[in-house]
């Protein structure tokens, strides 16, 4: 996607560098996550050469996927069929609003920053880069497909966006903590309220609106954020890391409350992933990282991720009691993503800790200075099934597995299938 981010590609290196710097600046604006974001950016795809997939969110494990616009879908070969099918079966009842970082960015960050995008991002699915930090789809895309609706368009994407089934507010690099990044969760929530109010204005003026104000209460609100907050503090001693986690969770809690106050009723909240299993973290071990566990993942990162999820799950428990007439589902992404690593052979994955698009070969194929950029990168064969696309974000194949597990409800509290949440009761008769 953001090939532009890489300074490396062919030609245009200067331009790319400028873009990259701009991007970084943007990401870093608030600061805390600067380092992380910087790292993320690095692996933005190289310019023309097809660089890495860097995305804004260094932190987020999954790519920044930008929801491909309908036109994007149509352009890509594989998507032609999907787009047609989506049109055919598109469920007019489905409305999704998503908030998050690169794990669910479908092209927002690159659109904002004007970051050039280049192959090999998107090579496995869209067959062209879309601004997602992946070779294909992010988990949110699979969620939309499960709900028989097209991929969500990024709020900030001016061309080809279609908001008739909702909006994706996720921006790669975003934090839950306000001010740490320009599009932190509070801003994304404000953007939702703004969008809803403008729809209302339009209808009152008898103009058309992408979403009928009467329908907002039926919408699904999905969230996947926190990874950038966590990874940006992992340089601290573990007790200090633990002390900060409640603040991140408090922001997510606040966002859910604000959305509820504004009419949101159905929430699908992702916990964070197995951050200690990301090649980008494994390739640059720090003295205070502690050891590796039996599957080769960094214990300290994974412990922090699990603790964060525990707190977030508790917050969801509280909110369930406090917020009337709402359904709040917490999805344990750590369990899902760790299972993928621990039981990788079961999923047909040979090298669970290897980066597909990186540098340096085994064991991690990840060079923090280059990420998924440069003409000399070592990119895995298209038929190789790896978890990690660029060291931080997942491949289309891995995101597909993650999504298929998440939607079952088996990793959720309370246990509920995604489709049952969206279409309660006689949901299946459409
Ligand atoms: C829409 O606008 C009308 C008139 O200003 C107002 O009464 C109503 O509460 C608004 N609805 C929402 C969802 O904001
Ligand atoms: C690996 O798979 C086994 C069998 O399905 C399961 O019991 C175990 O919890 C899995 N490991 C992880 C880390 O999820």
Q: What is the mean pLDDT of residues 6-16?
A: 32
pLDDT at 210 over 50: yes
202 lines ligand 1 (CB under 6 A): no
Say which ligand is closest to the CA of 339: 2
What pLDDT score was predicted for residue 386?
A: 97
Please give the distance, rounded to the nearest whole angstrom, from the Cα atom of residue 293 to the centre of ligand 2: 15
Higher pLDDT, 160 or 70: 160
What pLDDT score was predicted for residue 25?
A: 32
Per-residue pLDDT tens for 116-159? 888 899 999 999 999 999 999 999 999 999 999 999 999 999 99
pLDDT band at 35 (very low <50, low <70, confident <90, very high): very low
What pLDDT score was predicted for residue 237?
A: 94
Atom 2, ligand 1: residue with shortest CA distance:
200
Higher pLDDT, 180 or 114: 114
Q: What is the mean pLDDT of residues 369-376?
A: 86
pLDDT at 18 over 80: no
pLDDT at 257 over 80: yes
pLDDT band at 219 (very low <50, low <70, confident <90, very high): very high
Please give the distance, rounded to the nearest whole angstrom, from the Cα atom of residue 200 to the centre of ligand 1: 6
Higher pLDDT, 45 or 130: 130
Higher pLDDT, 130 or 80: 130
Say which ligand is closest to the CA of 202: 1
What pLDDT score was predicted for residue 197?
A: 97
pLDDT band at 313 (very low <50, low <70, confident <90, very high): very high
Q: What is the mean pLDDT of residues 180-195?
A: 96
pLDDT band at 19 (very low <50, low <70, confident <90, very high): very low
Cα(254)–Cα(187) distance, integer angstroms: 12
Which atom of ligand 2 is least distant from the CA of 295? 13
pLDDT band at 166 (very low <50, low <70, confident <90, very high): very high
204 lines ligand 1 (CB under 6 A): yes
Phi (first) and psi of residue 270, to 5 degrees: -85, 135
Please give the distance, rounded to the nearest whole angstrom, from the Cα atom of residue 313 to the centre of ligand 2: 21
Q: What is the mean pLDDT of residues 350-362?
A: 95
pLDDT at 105 over 50: yes
Q: What is the mean pLDDT of residues 107-119?
A: 92
Domains of the chain: 3-429 (3.40.50.1110)
């Amino acid at each position: 996607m953001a090939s532009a981010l890489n300074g490396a590609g062919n030609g245009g290196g200067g331009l790319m560098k400028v873009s990259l710097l701009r991007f970084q600046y943007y990401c870093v604006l608030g600061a805390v996550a600067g380092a992380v974001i910087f790292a993320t950016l690095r692996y933005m795809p190289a310019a023309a050469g097809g660089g890495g997939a860097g995305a804004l969110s260094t932190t987020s494990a999954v790519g920044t996927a930008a929801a491909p616009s309908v036109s994007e879908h149509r352009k890509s070969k594989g998507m032609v069929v999907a787009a047609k099918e989506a049109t055919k079966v598109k469920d007019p009842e489905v409305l999704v609003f998503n908030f998050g970082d690169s794990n669910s960015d479908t092209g927002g960050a690159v659109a904002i920053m004007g970051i050039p995008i280049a192959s090999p991002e998107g090579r496995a699915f869209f067959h062209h880069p879309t601004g997602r930090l992946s070779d294909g789809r992010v988990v949110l895309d699979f969620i939309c497909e499960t709900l028989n609706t097209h991929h969500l368009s990024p709020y900030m994407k001016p061309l080809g966006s279609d908001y008739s089934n909702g909006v994706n507010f996720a921006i790669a690099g975003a934090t839950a903590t306000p001010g740490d990044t320009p599009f932190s969760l509070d801003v994304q929530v404000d953007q939702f309220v703004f969008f809803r109010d403008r729809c209302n204005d339009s209808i009152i003026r008898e103009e058309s609106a992408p979403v009928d104000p009467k329908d907002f209460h039926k919408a699904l609100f999905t969230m996947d954020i926190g990874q950038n907050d966590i990874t940006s503090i992992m340089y601290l001693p573990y007790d200090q890391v633990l002390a900060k986690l409640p603040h991140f969770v408090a922001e997510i809690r606040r966002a859910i409350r604000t959305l509820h106050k504004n009419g949101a009723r159905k929430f699908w909240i992702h916990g964070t992933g197995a951050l200690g299993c990301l090649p980008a973290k494994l390739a640059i071990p720090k003295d205070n990282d502690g050891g590796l566990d039996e599957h080769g993942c960094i214990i300290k990162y994974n412990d922090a991720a699990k603790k964060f999820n525990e707190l977030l799950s508790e917050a969801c428990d509280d909110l369930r009691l406090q917020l009337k007439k709402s359904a709040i589902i917490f999805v344990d992404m750590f369990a899902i993503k760790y299972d993928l690593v621990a039981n990788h052979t079961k999923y047909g994955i040979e090298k669970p800790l290897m980066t597909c698009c990186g540098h340096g070969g085994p064991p991690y194929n990840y060079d923090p200075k280059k990420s998924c950029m440069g003409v000399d990168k070592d990119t895995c064969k298209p038929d190789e099934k790896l978890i990690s696309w660029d060291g931080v974000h997942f491949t289309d194949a891995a995101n597909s597995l993650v999504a298929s597990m998440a939607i079952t409800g088996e990793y959720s509290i309370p246990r509920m299938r995604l489709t049952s949440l969206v279409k309660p009761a006689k949901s299946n008769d459409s």
